[in-house]
A and B are shown apart, each in its own frame.
Chain A
Amino acid sequence: MPKLKPEDLERITEKVKRTMILREGTGRAKITVHMGTCGIAAGSRAIMSALIKEIEEKDIKDVILTTSSCAGLCSREPMITVEVQNQPPVKYVDLTPEKVKEIFDKHVLSGEIVKEYALAFGSERVP
């Protein structure tokens, strides 16, 4: 191991950035895969795997991928919710790994909502 120079600190920071963003919860976007029993039955595992693959292949550091339970619309699973920073969340329905790939490229990375797969903007009202 060669001795560290001050500029190496940045390199190491970059290398671990994804892990740190995950723990600090400060990504530029958050994707929630709905993984209730209904979602899993409809194939949300494949959606999750596809997203993990995208993040790994493209080496994206600042997108948080997480799960949540059934979104209440079991017939339209698999579903995901995409929240780009400072924008309302968007729910996507009837997904396939191919559709998710497209959403990842267009919405998550470029901020352009993929209207044909989207169900609605925003979340349900909570009291």
Chain B
Amino acid sequence: MAYRANLMLCTCTMCVSVGALKIKKKLEEELKKHNLEDEIQIILTGSSWLCTKGPTLIVQPDDVVYQLLKEEDIPHLVEEHFLKGRPVKSLMYIHPEALHPIEKLHEIPFYRDQRLVALWNRGIIDPDQIDEYIARDGYKALAKVLKSMTPEEVVQEIKDSGLRGRGGAGFPTGRKWEFCRKNPNTPKYLICNADEGDPGAFMDRSIIEADPHSLIEGIQIAAYAIGAEKGYVYVRLEYPLAIKRLNRAISQAREYGLLGKDIFGSGFDFDIEMFRGAGAFVCGEETSLIHSIEGRPAEPTQKPPFPVEKGLFGSPTVINNVETLANLPRIINFGAEWFASIGTEKSKGTKVFSLAGNINNAGLVEVPMGITLREMVYDIGGGIPNGKKFKAVQTGGPSGGVIPSSLLDLPIDYERLQEAGAIMGSGGMIIVDEDTCMVDLAKYFLAFTNDESCGKCTSCREGSAAMLEILTKISEGRGEEGDIEFLEELGEAIKDASQCGLGQTLSNPVLSAIKHFREEFETHIKDKKCPAGVCKALIEYSIDPEKCTGCMACVKVCPQSAITGERKKPHKIDQSECIKCGVCKDACKFDAVKVE
């Protein structure tokens, strides 16, 4: 069928949760009503667009994008755009603070400033159609390495490209492979780490949902390079859609003979097994992950020996992250030199980030290494909502740290972020505005790692609990002189004494918050005040009698009935009843509710 238009409907986990499948049904009905079903095709894609603007629909070849679609918009949209050819401006993307929508997808800054390597196919193909993947140069890199390159040449190519692990630590991928390749022991294993656990991170899930074959091809290239015949994908159970799409892609690849015996007639045998993790954060750590596949308790062990020496079932094993592997087909197709031309001196290529938190365009972005935080937050991210001020960005999740606004012009690469006390991490980027308390944020991450610590090392198990206790104390107004110094000392000690990455990095959010926002900690301790107005024990809600118009709005919403007052007379909050929920502040239209 010769379709004249494709409607690329995003059906990632997030868009489905806000009704993308209902939109699909309605689109089908309306297209049928206008007899357009043979001319216009609906394609379900993986994550393609701004994740907070879903459901989104990209119309090709018109290059038009619609956002925040509702079922009732569809009849009008179909009649106007698809029948009469008039794109509907009221449903298009509007850049924050702009007056008019941007009509062409590729002119939108969020898209324009991105460079897609790992996300090469996102939103362009139907992830369930292997043929569409093939039509976008799919499996050509695999054919190339199997037919014309020795494993050593593949290793060299990746070394030359400068690709570094995208899971967090940034170890050079080619070197890791080389260690495994040179290890005489067999069999060898390739494991894809898709146990994405950082709060606010969804890069790996999006890659798998949008383009599962890219991952499969990447795994095969890596396996060929190191000499593995079996690969595992360790994916967390909380990603049902990703698991479904990857399983389907694996069976399609098997049907085509792209997995199994004698792939492409080259004599290379390889197959993939899915392994679903039960959702322990520590399983993202290499040795714990290996133990989990082996059926042992998911606890880390001392490195060395590294997995490349003694990994899964005692065999040499390479563990690569989803994004690292998804880069491989492009590096092989376009060459190491091309890849190395993108990025900075020591950080090559692009990086996928998930932008989350207080940001207008939350979503999935892929940018060249070396882009500044400012470009990320303001150009791509579209700035901070509700006219608030940018305060900091948290990178690397519970293993990373905060970067304050004074470092907004910092280029994003492995080294620069580390110098600033944060880490690249897997790519989670949480933006916080002026209403966020840094003590509270640090406490949040500590509570997470304290909960997720496997308990094997005392330093991590007890240390995280002790740090959390002090942070809780500070946030409740019981902070004492010396607490900050103690946190610093304890933080360093936990780093030194813990066996795996979880413990070695868990104090980073606290230490970097102290480094960049020490004053805020001191205010909590000395003045017993929370400048951002977050820590409940340190704040008090009151009503400014000058501004209060006596509209009763706050009186009506207060769940504690703590606000009293008559119409047209200033209201008052009974402090003994107030639970500091902030509902009154949100309800007040006159800015009369103060937080101190």
A115 part of interface (Cβ distance < 8 Å):
no
Q: List 8 A-B contacts (CB under 8 A).
A: A5-B264, A19-B3, A19-B132, A48-B4, A48-B39, A64-B4, A65-B4, A67-B82
Given contacts A9-B143, A23-B8, A66-B4, contact A35 B256 (CB under 8 A): no
What distance in Å separates the Cβ of B226 from its nearest Cβ neighbour in chain A? 22
Chain B hits for A67, CB < 8 A: 4-5, 82-85
- A50 in contact (CB, < 8 A): no
Known: A19-B6, A64-B61, A69-B86. Contact between A4 and B257, CB under 8 A? yes
Asked if A1 contacts B135 (CB within 8 A), the reply is no
Cβ of A36 under 8 Å from chain B = yes
Q: Is the CB of B140 within 8 A of A9?
A: yes
The reply to whether A66 and B132 form a contact with Cβ atoms under 8 Å apart is no
- Indicate whether B147 reaches chain A with its CB closer than 8 angstroms: yes
Known: A52-B2, A67-B85. 17 other contacts (CB 8 A): A1-B257, A2-B257, A4-B256, A9-B138, A15-B135, A16-B135, A17-B135, A22-B60, A25-B61, A27-B61, A52-B4, A56-B2, A64-B61, A65-B4, A67-B4, A67-B5, A67-B82
In A24-80, the 8 Å CB interface with B consists of: 24-25, 27, 30, 32-37, 40, 48, 52, 55-56, 64-69
Interface residue? B131 (CB, 8 A): yes
**Is A6 an interface residue when CB atoms closer than 8 A count as contact?**
yes
Q: Which residues of B contact A12 (CB under 8 A)?
A: 131, 134-135
Bound complex: CA A19 to CA B143 (Å): 23
B546 in contact (CB, < 8 A): no
Which B residues fall within an 8 A CB radius of A?
1-6, 8, 38-39, 60-63, 82-86, 124, 131-132, 134-136, 138-140, 143, 147, 255-258, 262, 264-265
A-side contacts of B1, CB under 8 Å? 56
In whole angstroms, what is the CA distance A51 to B258 when docked?
Answer: 38
Asked if A22 meets B5 with Cβ closer than 8 Å, knowing A4-B258, A12-B135, A13-B135, the reply is yes
For the complex formed, measure the closest distance between the CB of A38 and the CB atoms of chain B, giving whole angstroms: 10
Binding site of B, secondary structure by majority: helix, strand, loop or mixed?
loop
**Residue from B82, B135, B257 within 8 A of A19 (CB atoms):** B135
How far in angstroms is the closest Cβ of chain B from A39? 8
Interface residues of A (CB under 8 A from B): 1-6, 9, 12-13, 15-20, 22-25, 27, 30, 32-37, 40, 48, 52, 55-56, 64-69
Query: Known contacts being A3-B257, A12-B131, A19-B135, is A24 close to B85, with CB within 8 Å?
Result: no
Q: Give the residues in chain A near B131, CB-CB below 8 Å.
A: 12, 15-16
In the complex, chain B residues whose CB is within 8 Å of the CB of A36? 84-86
Shortest Cβ distance from residue A63 to the other chain B in the assembled complex, whole angstroms: 9
Whether B256 pairs with A3 at a CB distance below 8 angstroms is: yes
- B257 neighbours in A (Cβ, 8 Å): 1-4
Q: Which 6 A/B pairs are nearest by Cβ-Cβ distance?
A: A3-B257, A67-B85, A16-B135, A6-B143, A69-B86, A68-B85
Asked whether A69 and B135 contact (CB < 8 A) given A4-B257, A4-B264, the answer is: no
Closest partner residue, chain B, to A40 (CB atom): B84
Report chain A residues within 8 Å CB of B136. 20
CA–CA, A18 to B61, complex, Å? 11
Query: Given the complex, which residues of A lie within 8 Å of B83, measured CB to CB?
Result: 35, 40, 67
Which residues of B lie under 8 Å from residue A4 when comparing CB positions? Answer: 139, 256-258, 264
> How near does chain A come to B117, taking the closest CB pair, in angstroms?
16
How far does the alpha carbon of A6 sit from the alpha carbon of B136 in the complex, in Å? 15
Which residues on the B side are within 8 Å of A25 (C-beta)?
60-61, 63
Given A4-B256, A64-B61, residue A9 in contact with residue B2 (CB < 8 A): no
Complex-state Cα separation, A20 to B139, whole angstroms: 16
Q: Are A52 and B39 in contact (CB under 8 A)?
A: yes
How far in angstroms is the closest Cβ of chain B from A49?
9
User: With A35-B83, A56-B2 in contact, is A66–B264 under 8 Å at CB?
Assistant: no
In the complex, what distance in Å separates the CA atom of A19 from the CA atom of B5? 9
Are A5 and B85 also in contact (CB < 8 A) when A24-B124, A25-B63 are?
no
The residue that A23 contacts in the complex, of B60, B143, B258, with Cβ under 8 A, is B60
CB distance from B511 to the nearest CB of A (A): 47
Cβ of A18 and Cβ of B2 under 8 Å apart?
A: yes
Given A30-B61, A52-B4 in contact, is the A35-B132 Cβ separation under 8 Å? no
Residues of B within 8 A of A27 (CB): 61
Instruction: Give the chain B neighbours of A15 by CB distance below 8 A.
Output: 131, 135
Task: Please give me the residue from chain B that is nearest to A71 by CB atom.
Answer: B85
User: Out of A13, A30, A37, which one reaches B84, CB within 8 Å?
Assistant: A37
A56 to B2, CA, bound (A): 6
Least CB distance, A66 to chain B, in whole angstroms: 6
Known contacts A9-B143, A22-B60, A52-B2; is-contact A1 B39 (Cβ 8 Å): no
Contacts of A1 in B (CB 8 A): 255-257
Q: Which residues of B contact A2 (CB under 8 A)?
A: 257
Give A3 to B147 CA distance when docked, in angstroms.
16
What are the residues of chain A within 8 A of B4 when measuring CB–CB?
22, 48, 52, 64-67
Q: Compute how far the CA of A95 lies from the CA of B405 in the bound complex, rounded to whole angstroms.
A: 61
Contacts of B62 in A (CB 8 A): 66
Name the CB-closest residue of B to A33. B85
Q: Which residue of A lies closest to B82 (CB)?
A: A67
Query: What is the distance, in angstroms, from A42's C-beta to the closest C-beta of chain B?
Result: 13
Alpha-carbon gap, A54 to B74, bound state (A): 30
Q: A55–B140 contact, CB under 8 A?
A: no
CB B36 to nearest CB in A, in angstroms, measures 10
Q: Which residues of A contact B134 (CB under 8 A)?
A: 9, 12-13, 16
Nearest CB of B to A29, in Å:
12
Shortest Cβ distance from residue A72 to the other chain B in the assembled complex, whole angstroms = 13
Q: Which residue in chain A gives the minimum CB-CB distance to B60?
A: A23
Contact B135 A66 (CB under 8 A): no
B84 to chain A: which residues have CB within 8 Å? 35-37, 40, 67, 69
